[in-house]
Amino acid sequence: MTAPIHPKNPESRVKLFWQEGTQSDVYVRTHGPFTVDEPAVVGGTDTGPRPTEYLMIGYVG
């Protein structure tokens, strides 16, 4: 999946590649991969932060 971040800057993109189960790798522009996953208690393998935890990083960053 690829989605533009800002319509005036089409070079800014987010690319998500599903790996398995609840795990995905995300690339932002030239950065990444950032692994997104869920904890084992909800069916993930806990190889990376939850999507909501990345959202919280954006708020405090």
Q: Name the strand (E) or helix (H) holding 58.
A: helix 51-60
Q: How many domains does the chain contain in total?
A: 1
pLDDT tens digits, residue range 3-56? 556 666 667 788 999 999 999 999 988 899 999 999 999 999 999 999 999 999
**How many other CB atoms are there within 10 angstroms of residue 34's CB atom?**
16
Residue-number span of the structural domain to which 33 is assigned: 2-60
pTM of the model: 0.75
pLDDT value, residue 60: 93
State the pLDDT at residue 30: 86
